[in-house]
Structure 1
Amino acid sequence: ANCLNRLSYGGSIGWNVVNVATLIIFRGQWVNKMAIVRSFSPFIIVSCIGLLMAGWPFFMGLSFFSLLMIGWFLFG
């Protein structure tokens, strides 16, 4: 975000991490299908291991922690 502000990317100097994340999510492109698999496979593997070891409470804890981190990121 700091680099984009210094370069005045898109004529704007109001870039922040949320703007950059939104830009990546909606305007980003994958190189190929294998890149998608390599990006999401660690999350899927950890989720499967957590589901097998702890069951649904694992996902409840993961959801709570994720919401806590998102709130801290946006409002903290």
Structure 2
Amino acid sequence: MVLSRGWSAFLVGVGVWTWVIWPRFALAIWNDPRAWSTGRVGAGPATGFLWVHALLIAASLVIGTTAGVLGVRGWLAARRSR
């Protein structure tokens, strides 16, 4: 299967968007007092709030990276087929 250039560009955009948005969200979660048992950033053990969000962020980065790689591969395949 060869993706069109439009869909390939869309998938690359999804990959880029993922890497722009999720690291910023990770920083916001890290700095949230609910992420730490003492209510102070970095003081004390992490709470479930931090771990759940860390898992969601990691999964989203993996999915976004996969979409971006597929988009690049689709773009290159579409270019070769011309």
**Structure 1 length as normaliser, TM-score?**
0.32
Larger Rg: 2
**Structure 2 length as normaliser, TM-score?**
0.30
Q: Which has the higher contact order (CA 8 A, sep 6+)?
A: 2
Higher helix share: 1
